[in-house]
Structure 1
């Protein structure tokens, strides 16, 4: 058998993974299925459709027809933001060329390249993007389970849980006790637990000024700790008590039926309890076989492509990528890199070097905002921080007000970037 020059080149390219069948067989537009319509998945879907100018068939799978952001949900709990301002629909994204399917993905067949939905629909894909956020580690807080979330809410998936937690705080008796079980690292942030404590304190200061807040924490330290502790002393003196491992924060159980927390074997009655369990990648990532023993999905730092499957990308909270926090800003940044990489593979468009960024704002009190952030670049094994910044303690009120206003502008900008 004599091979032509064209056959030799094609065979060599296929063997080295340089030629992707969906892009060259001429069987219609390459199909990209995106699971999860938040900061990662929503951004990826919108940018894939927009930047490919119709060359890609992009489908977004998201169970909720209206998405409620976890970021800024603490401000709603604190009474500083209306709940409706957290909710965003997909009409503009659909008008921009994304097929939006309001259903839940239940299975992924990576060999057949299909996604099965709860309603029975099966979607074929050439490339798959997963950005399903977080799920919770069972039994990470003894005595608590998802069944108990209606009694001791987590409010770490925004929506009904957010409103439930706020109602429970508002229903506390005068002088009552609010308890928070803080999560171990790594965890989704925002809604950061320490900003949440600040916003709960702000709400209680208006309506229940003798109430107490206890934070039970297995961590020796936490992000922006000096800034939070300064703010707590300034605005909520004596109201918030942080209990670290030295004083029992690492030995905590809960009893939802009797509304008790148990610290080193000693039970204490509380009036409201916010349990934020240990976290893991959104369940569909594990179902798809894209997570490792850590519970998170390992990805290549230069593209967010899965290290397990070359036809899949994992973004945002679910990914194990290196130094970036599990924030909406991070997910949005990662999604743009991933969309560019997918588009380059499927359409031959230009691929630029990956760069990432993140900023996390926290509100200590009305108009007193602080922030930290960094810029990142991929290296051989992870996304690495190359330059960082953080607010200083002792900053004047004008600077803190500007930081807060900056965060408002960011929220308006990122939600427009995600949802159109």
Structure 2
């Protein structure tokens, strides 16, 4: 999981000493690092800035919510394999970190010229360096007829929490012989294998509930997707006749949805479904776009060696909101990027040198309770982007024992990752 070179202890020791010396100088003002967003990227950045800075600077995490619900592993809740509570994590351990406090408010505006974050409680929060991890916004208009209100009927559940529970309740209510339609998102989007793991867990839940005649149709705007061969092998072998995946050459284009009639219209037909799961197009969280940190893609360009915004050297953007080259928009990626950004921000504030960034992301996907596949990548800054330098993808036809080991590995990773993020 580490994103740093083997000599990191010496570098970090020197960095901490420099910070302590600077903050202890007579009349010196403590340097201020503000982190916006208490998800994986933001919580990791705040925690590691506190650890590596050894309490020698002021770190403020801006997060209005009292807890965070992970999107990763939420599909296992849908499949009946995990309780909802296992996805929810609080911030108590972070509040005990020296020099780290949590501002229980929402960030409403960033004044980059004055280096201020304006909060919903009316308090201005000054910063010397700012790390943004706002996640994604959903582009509801990307699917005609869809809206935030429509999501209460046709849930997206692409932001975990109440939507996750809603999708689960609607999945459990699908009758035998019923139809589920998923509208998959266009690239780029959060968690590339996520929709297809969700399909797998839905199929498992239907089978476990004794509903062999229920079906799932996936309407995809893409002609291929992450781990495609692995998922299709799993669907054919474990859920024959249940899952039908359609690319644009089959459905002809998604024309819209009607929540009141529970219908989905494509270029060729209109279908009425018992459950419609719409996952719309996505873009960087609005706070980054409001601050002028996103480009025409709707996401934020960064310096690959530090996650520093190309628009503002005092600001870093990590996680799903960033344009991170070859890296997927995953929880592991956000954790890895946040550590690089935290170290770069600390080096800025201490005037200490940094060293080359190294990133990693691994994503596990369950096809069935004892069948898990994975994709792994190691990444480095190469030129003006983050490039993959090593990678691994599960093979089709792997022995059952390999897939069972992957399930245990994924469980262990989740426990380790959430401990690393939230303390």
TM-score by length of 2: 0.92
Residues 1:242 and 2:269 aligned together: no
Shift of 1:60: 0.5
Q: Deviations over 1:243-299 (max 9, x none)?
A: 111111633411111110001152211001110000000111111111011100000
Q: Of 167, 170, 173, which residue of structure 2 is paired with 1:168?
A: 170
In the other structure, the counterpart of 1:9 is none
What number of residue pairs does the alignment pair up? 400
SS in structure 1 opposite 2:308? Answer: coil
Residue 276 of structure 1 is aligned with which of 271, 275, 279?
Answer: 279
Structure 2 residue 334 is matched with structure 1 residue 331: yes
- Residue 172 of structure 1 and its aligned partner are, at CA, apart by 1.4
The CA deviation at 1:352 is 2.0
Structure-2 separation of matches of 1:146 and 1:249? 26
Pick from 219, 222, 241: which aligns with 1:219?
A: 222
Partner of 1:5: none
Q: Does 1:297 align with 2:303?
A: no
1:139 CA displacement: 1.2
Distance 2:200 2:63 in 1: 31
Segments of structure 2 that go 5 or more residues without pairing to the other structure are 1-21
Q: Residue in 2 aligned with 1:418?
A: 421
2:79 corresponds to: 78
Aligned to 1:17: none
Question: Could you tell me how far 1:350 is from its partner in structure 2?
Answer: 4.3
**Bigger CA drift: 189-198 or 225-234?**
189-198
Partner of 2:107: 105
What do residues 360-401 of structure 1 show as CA deviations (whole Å, max 9, x unaligned)? 110000021100111001011100001111000000111001
Residues 176-223 of structure 1: CA distance to partner in whole angstroms, max 9, x if unpaired? 101100000111007700000000000011112211101000100001
The 8 Å contact of residues 72 and 191 in structure 1, kept in 2 or not, is answered as no
For 1:120, the equivalent position in structure 2 comes to 122
Aligned-pair distance for 1:146?
A: 1.3
On the 8 A contact 2:23/2:56 being kept in 1, the answer is no
| Residues 327-357 of structure 1: CA deviation (Å, up to 9, x unaligned) | 0000000011111111111123441210011
Rounded Cα–Cα distance in structure 2 between residues aligned with 1:23 and 1:340 = 20
Sort the Cα spacing of 1:22 and 1:293 in 2 relative to 1 into closer, same or farther, 3 A.
Answer: farther
Q: 1:245 to 1:23 in 2, by over 3 A?
A: farther
Structure 1 residue 138: Cα displacement = 3.9
Question: Conserved in 2, the CA contact under 8 Å of 1:355 and 1:376?
Answer: yes
Residues 376 and 391, structure 2, Cα contact 8 Å, conserved in 1 = yes
Separation in 1, partners of 2:162, 2:24: 42
Q: In the alignment, does 2:52 pair up with 1:68?
A: no
C-alpha distance in structure 2 between counterparts of 1:163 and 1:366, whole Å: 20
Confirm or deny: 8 A CA contact 1:71 1:191 kept in the other structure.
no
Normalising to structure 1: TM-score of the pair?
Answer: 0.93
User: Where does 1:262-273 land on structure 2 (aligned, <5 Å)?
Assistant: 262-264=265-267, 266-273=269-276
Shift of the alpha carbon at 1:100? Answer: 1.0
Q: Which residue pairs with 1:10 in the alignment?
A: none
Compute the displacement of 1:24 (Å). 9.5
Unaligned ranges ≥5, structure 1? 1-20
Asked if structure 2 preserves the Cα contact closer than 8 Å seen for 1:218 and 1:249, the reply is: no
Runs (4 or more) in structure 1 with deviation over 4 Å come to 21-27
Give 3-state SS (helix, strand or coil) of 1:388's partner: strand
- Give me the whole-angstrom Cα distance separating, in 1, the residues matched to 2:329 and 2:26: 38
1:295-374 paired onto structure 2 within 5 Å: 295-374=298-377
